[in-house]
């Protein structure tokens, strides 16, 4: 059954259709868009493509500019995007965020650290988000 689903997902991905949640994976470890899904840390944090980190539990995705509504919708769905939009207020700073695995990222400093008040760089998250 998994093979049939993976084949169907792969075929529809080629046509640009997404029929499964983006965080679901096929038997070869790819997400519904046919891209490799890279797990980072724990608690639902992953990198669906280079330069993007998604936090399934917190309900947002971010790129090198900060929290991204476009990537949130693309990889976590419209409901996640709407929920994130409702949590943003006038003074919301989308350039700094803490992921569910405790890693803190600052897109202006172009680095992620192991915790919010730490100076220790988290290499895996920094590379995934900034390519460095």
Give the domain ranges of the chain.
1-35, 37-130
Tell how strand 96-98 and strand 66-68 pair up: unpaired
Mean pLDDT confidence for 54-60: 95
**Per-residue confidence (pLDDT) for residue 80, from 0 to 100:** 94
Q: How far apart are the first and last CA of the chain?
A: 40
Percent pLDDT > 70 in the chain is 71
Dump strand ranges (E) for 33-93.
38-39, 45-47, 53-55, 60-63, 66-68
Residues 6+ apart with CB under 8 A from 2: 27
pLDDT in tens, 75-108: 999 999 999 999 887 788 999 999 999 999 999 9
For residue 31, what pLDDT band results from cuts at 50, 70 and 90?
very low
The DSSP output letter for 35 is P
Q: What is the mean pLDDT of residues 59-71?
A: 96
């Amino acid at each position: 059954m998994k093979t049939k689903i993976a084949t169907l997902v792969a075929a529809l991905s080629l046509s640009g259709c997404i029929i499964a949640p983006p965080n679901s994976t096929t038997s070869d470890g790819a997400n519904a868009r046919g891209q490799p899904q890279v797990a980072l840390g724990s608690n639902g944090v992953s990198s669906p493509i280079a330069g993007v980190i998604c936090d399934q539990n917190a309900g947002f995705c971010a790129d090198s500019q900060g929290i991204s509504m476009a990537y949130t919708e693309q990889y976590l769905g419209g409901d996640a995007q709407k929920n994130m939009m409702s949590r943003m207020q006038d003074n919301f700073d989308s350039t700094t965020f803490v992921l569910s695995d405790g890693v803190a990222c600052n897109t202006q400093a172009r680095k992620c650290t192991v915790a919010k008040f730490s100076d220790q760089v988290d290499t895996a998250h920094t590379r995934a988000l900034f390519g460095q």
